[in-house]
């Protein structure tokens, strides 16, 4: 790759992997959705027994301020789900992208997989495992 073809702002001077951008966007959307849900839950549970009047009503259909907050949370969570679907359809172009996909999939729970991923991370950074 010639110098003009390289993205000088990418990590390590290499081109960025679209998977990494998608994973960052999914995390951003989930964080916003969680924030809306948290705010709605705090307000909702502050009602105490008063909230029993709304039993059976879907979260997003509850009165203000609860319903709109829950609706916003759901919108961001659904958007994050769409981005996750895109991540599943996108092949990584770097080792970092492949590692990030494995981590997102939850494969970091097994000790052997953790060690393999650590080795891959070290190799990707140009060092020995």
Q: Mean pLDDT across the stretch 76-83?
A: 97
Q: Read off the pLDDT of residues 10-61 as tens digits, 9 standing for 90 and up.
A: 444 456 889 999 999 999 999 999 999 999 999 999 988 888 888 888 888 8
Q: Is the pLDDT of residue 102 over 60?
A: yes
pLDDT tens digits for 103-123? 888 766 677 777 777 888 888
- pTM value? 0.74
What's the CA gap between 13 and 43, in Å, rounded?
Answer: 47
Give the C-alpha separation, 66 to 70, whole Å.
6
């Amino acid at each position: 790759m010639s110098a003009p073809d390289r993205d000088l702002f990418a990590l390590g001077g290499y081109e960025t992997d679209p998977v990494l951008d998608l994973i960052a966007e999914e995390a951003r959307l989930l964080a916003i959705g969680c924030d809306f849900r948290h705010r709605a839950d705090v307000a909702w549970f502050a009602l105490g027994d008063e909230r029993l009047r709304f039993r059976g009503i879907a979260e997003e259909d509850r009165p203000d301020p609860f319903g709109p907050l829950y609706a916003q949370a759901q919108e961001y969570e659904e958007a994050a789900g769409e981005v996750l679907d895109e991540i599943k359809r996108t092949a990584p172009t770097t080792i970092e992208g492949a590692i990030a996909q494995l981590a997102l999939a939850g494969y970091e729970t097994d000790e052997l997989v953790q060690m393999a991923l650590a080795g891959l991370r070290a190799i990707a950074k140009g060092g020995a495992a």
